[in-house]
Chains A and B, each alone.
Chain A
Amino acid sequence: MSSPVYEKYYVPAQSPWPFVGAVALFLIAVGAGNLVIELDKGSDGHGGKILTLGLITLLFMLIGWFHNQINESMQGMHSAQLGRSYRQGMAWFIFSEVMFFAAFFGALFYARVFAVPWLGGDSNNAMTNEVLWPGFTAMWPLETTPGGTQTEAMGWFGLPMANTIVLLISSVTCHFAHVALEQGNRARLKLMMALTILLGVSFLVLQGEEYIHAYEEMGLTLQSGVYGNTFFLLTGFHGLHVTLGTTILIILFLRILKGHFSPANHFAFQAGSWYWHFVDVVWVMLFFFVYIL
């Protein structure tokens, strides 16, 4: 009470949302687990339903929690300290996402640099090739696996290149939106946000096209060996993150339309834009390591 430092310290009151969130994750995990098993066996079950219920619960929880949070924030209950905590929390969350992608990039490097050359007889593995995989030659992209699955390699020109440009521009527009917000230029902010969202959606559409092309014309599928595996898991998880990012941007856009955020107080906007830049950086890495190299 006496010291200014804690005057604005804010302990949020009890809230049902975290617990609802835990229930949601529980339903999602149980549902997804069962769904995967049922798909694999071709049997019927409730996996899909439980998963849907979980996702709805999660959505419900997110809406409730954010609603709460936004109200509190709009009432000026949040302190500078809390703003810092949110920002740092978001930064560390993005770091954890980086490490998640690192696992898959690691798999890509390992397969390229070690596993495939070894199967081709490199290093001390002359006998691996001679005894187990005679006739297999190492190559990357792995167009013929040791087991004999054939596929075509995805080039980097064309769609992927276009996608790179789309995402890069969207990062720029997202940045301009931020600048506009800080300058109090709401019209520009709206324009730039709308553009960013549009670019995000077009990226997803193009990515969808690319997948269809890969599956229908190139024979490049999730099952076509470690090249296809790393290709689809990396681009797929990236695509999921773009979807999530775009959703966040849309929500931010709606909030902007409602007049939320001020030049000084816009943590949610900042978090969303960080996330968008992060997604963009991941794509650049992907473009370089998955497509070009």
Chain B
Amino acid sequence: MIVSWRMVVGSLSWSLLASTVMADEKSSNDPYRLNLSPGVTDISGQVYDLHMLMFGICVVIAALVFGAMFIAIWRHRKSRGAQAAHFHENVKVEIAWTVIPFIILIVMAVPAARTLIAMEDTSEPDLTILITGSQWKWHYRYMDREVEYYSRLASQPEQIANKLSKGANYLLEVDRPLVLPTDKKVRFLMTSDDVIHSWWVPAFAVKKDANPGFINEAWTKINQPGIYRGQCAELCGKDHGFMPIVVIAKAPDEYERWISQQEAIAREAKAEEQRLLSMNMGMDELMKKGEAVYQSTCAACHMPTGTGLPGVFPALKGSKITTQDQAAHIDIVVHGKSGTAMQAFGKQLSLAELAAVITYERNAWGNNTGDMVQAKDVNAVINGN
């Protein structure tokens, strides 16, 4: 069962040696290794204060309780000749230690409620982003602009497999970060295409579940430009640990420039698509592009070698669909299969990418069908014929 004890022992002893060295080199640079970060929004500051307040109260209570206990342990122990007293009830004391904690709770509850109310007030936003989780990437749509894209883990599989050294932001880096303006009230609409995910950026104190079929709202107003990182915070299947979030906060004018540029790029890409319809790509080009798309988009489930995970994700190597029925193949990639993890990639990939990846699947790993799928074939399926 995937576990090899030799590997366990090997890696354990290796890392015991190595870790002493590693620990020194990076311990100093992160101030929030032990505690919550106060973050970069007013709300996250309030949350931090609440956390510290709670923590302080808890430490005091613990000190009192344990203090009393250890005094008893020390002073009233038999080996020191202590004789047991006979009291076993005292109504006054019992009322006191019911009422006092209750009052402490009220002290905690008031600021907590105040912060909570502020956090849930998503009214009057300056801009709105629709965030959609799907296995295992985030999709961002700027609701009032013509910009939308997927954001995926950028750390390489070789790094995860310990074959390449890991960079400083290992597992916390993505190909296309979300870009937001500072000093604006940004409203997030969260939803999901498949299972429940949870969008979490600690520096904003925003964590909200992305529930399929429903939209949750949250908001933030960032005070400082910078790069903020977070992770998916709800178990969402195999690669739950590999769907990070990166947000770049830019000053409003810079943001405006960036978003206009993105809109222009999006328009150009659309035009490019149209042009492609009348062209044919060659086999080499298709295979090369297809492999890249496959490895970044499909390999998470169907595995880099097309073998899938038996019982969970089907193998594409030698499967009926990938070796025989081309129309069905295009159809499942474009439309997905509802109610399974197989998503509709028609809206995620460009026509060229779809054509390439399908061609790749029909010719890689010994699926030597020789078929070439072109953008226009895919387009035909998208348009329903």
Contacts and interface: CB of A to CB of B under 8 A. Distances in A.
Indicate whether A and B are direct neighbours in the complex (CB within 8 Å). Answer: yes
Nearest to B190: A127
Q: A interface, by DSSP: helix, strand, loop or mixed?
A: helix
A13 interface: no
B189 A127 contact: yes
B214 A118 contact: yes
A131 B214 contact: no
B213 A132 contact: yes
B213 A127 contact: no
Interface residues of B, number: 7
A195 to B, nearest CB: 48
Interface in A105-143: 118-119, 124-125, 127-128, 131-133
A125 B191 CA distance: 12
Nearest to A146: B213
Contacts of A119: 213-214
B217 interface: yes
A124 B213 contact: no
B128 to A, nearest CB: 9
Nearest to B191: A132
Nearest to A124: B217
B317 to A, nearest CB: 21
B143 to A, nearest CB: 9
A273 B214 CA distance: 46
B130 to A, nearest CB: 7
A125 B213 contact: no
Interface string B99-134: 000000000000000000000000000000010000
B215 interface: yes
Contacts of A131: 130, 189, 191, 215
Q: B interface, by DSSP: helix, strand, loop or mixed?
A: strand
Nearest to B122: A124
Interface in B134-165: none
A124 B44 CA distance: 23
Interface string B302-321: 00000000000000000000
A119 B130 CA distance: 17
A118 B211 CA distance: 13
Interface string B207-221: 000000111010000
Contacts of A146: 213
A118 B214 CA distance: 8
Contacts of B130: 131
A125 B211 CA distance: 12
Contacts of A132: 191, 213-215
Contacts of B217: 124, 127
A132 B191 CA distance: 9
A132 B214 CA distance: 7
Contacts of B214: 118-119, 125, 128, 132
A125 B217 CA distance: 9
A131 B182 CA distance: 26
Contacts of A124: 217
A240 to B, nearest CB: 27
A132 B132 CA distance: 11
A133 B191 CA distance: 12
A263 B217 CA distance: 66
A127 B188 CA distance: 11
A54 to B, nearest CB: 25
Contacts of B189: 127, 131
A144 to B, nearest CB: 15
A212 to B, nearest CB: 28
Interface in A161-214: none
Q: Which of B189, B191, B214, B217 has the most CB of A within 10 A?
A: B214
B8 to A, nearest CB: 32
A128 B215 CA distance: 5
A73 to B, nearest CB: 46
Nearest to B213: A132
A116 to B, nearest CB: 12
A110 B215 CA distance: 17
Interface string A141-152: 000001000000
Interface in B184-227: 189, 191, 213-215, 217
A127 B216 CA distance: 8
A124 B130 CA distance: 16
Contacts of A133: 213
A46 B106 CA distance: 60
B325 to A, nearest CB: 19
A118 B217 CA distance: 13
B214 to A, nearest CB: 5
Contacts of B213: 119, 128, 132-133, 146
A124 B217 CA distance: 8
B209 to A, nearest CB: 13
A128 B213 CA distance: 7
Interface in B273-300: none
Contacts of B215: 125, 127-128, 131-132
A124 B215 CA distance: 9
A199 B215 CA distance: 49
A133 B215 CA distance: 10
Q: Which of B130, B213, B215, B217 has the most CB of A within 10 A?
A: B215
Given A119-B213, A124-B217, A131-B130, 9 more contacts: A125-B214, A127-B215, A128-B213, A128-B214, A131-B189, A131-B191, A132-B214, A133-B213, A146-B213
10 contacts: A118-B214, A119-B213, A128-B213, A128-B214, A131-B189, A132-B191, A132-B213, A132-B214, A132-B215, A146-B213
